[in-house]
Amino acid sequence: MSTLLIHHPDYAWLQELGLCEENVGMYNGNWPGGGQASMEDYEETVKEAKEAWKMWAEIPAPKRGEIVRKIGLALREKIQVLGKLVSLEMGKILVEGIGEVQEFVDICDYAAGLSRMIVGPLLPSERPGPCSHQAVEPVRPAVTKVLAKVLEDNDLPGAICSMTCGGADIGTAMAKDTRVNLLSFTGSTQVGKQVALMVQERFGKSLLELGGNNAIIAFEDADLSLVLPSALFAAVGTAGQRCPSGRRLFLHESIHEEVVQRLRGAYSQIRVGNPWDRNILYGPLQTKQAVSMLVRAMQEIKKQGGTVVYGGKVMDHPGNYVDPIIVTGLAH
């Protein structure tokens, strides 16, 4: 009996996205064999993308904007299943998975508007869009299929939006490749530093979306009815696995104890479980490696004299679940 999700009745919707048992690791206007892409695949894909760019660059901006608008419409049609796939791959609750796709749609709408301006401002974003080459996580083949169909239906080469799914070797090649005019990277600060250095060595351009150390500051006259839910969701949304996640809370000493105790009570009521359940707020971490990193972080917190007010333990629950955590007493 197959253990692949695609054969399970609860995951039949994966086939709506064109996914199968072994999904293609590259797209350059054609869908070759499945599995991860090789360096030879990468070279071929970049070559095809550069050729496709020549055609894309010759199209007037308003017509390019119309293509991008159609991409947005195609994504809207599949927003529920694509959002569900994001949730499945990442572990974030369903409404946030759908929100990720909606953000892509919104950017398409915005870009379509910019295409009709005499002077169009630059639109930096980590979201892929024509003309681009992607070396990314498994959810992207499904998105690439949507984009490719729109391009091909409009008699344009699908290689305008190419894809290579691979490991660190592919990422390193992209960072060092002088044919890649702008490299966008979303990931950890540690890897982002390496990417920035490799791109800078060739005097290239990079756009880095890295981890944050975001803080919320509450003064003595703060409205706690706003502070508490804002701080809670900023911290536990996507189980803290997003760039804008709240990591630090600076409180005036006169409200410190009240806020900590009320947050502790709120954390104890957080509903944890299957992120597809609309009553759930807090899903799993993405990988077992993330769980191990959190365990090590908790050990370091205690070494530095921090006090664990709530959570900090791996949950006895199938999957990569950990308790949400509140820590006080650390030096800033």
CATH class, domain 5-180, is alpha beta
- The pLDDT score that the predictor gives to residue 19 is 77
- The pLDDT score that the predictor gives to residue 118 is 65
Contact 80, 98 (CB under 8 A): yes
Tell me the C-alpha distance between 169 and 192, whole Å: 15
Where do the structural domains in the chain lie, given as residue ranges? 5-180, 214-328
- The pLDDT score that the predictor gives to residue 132 is 52
Q: Which CATH architecture has domain 214-328?
A: 3-Layer(aba) Sandwich (3.40)
Q: Which residues are catalytic?
A: 209
Tell me the C-alpha distance between 56 and 162, whole Å: 13
pLDDT in tens, 256-290: 999 999 999 999 999 999 999 999 999 999 889 99
Residue 156, phi then psi, degrees to nearest 5 = -115, 150
What lies within 8 Å, CB to CB, of 186 at 6+ separation is 126, 208, 209, 210, 243
pLDDT in tens, 169-217: 999 999 999 999 999 998 888 899 999 999 999 999 999 988 778 899 9
Low-confidence residues of the chain, pLDDT below 50? 1, 124-131, 133, 135-136, 138
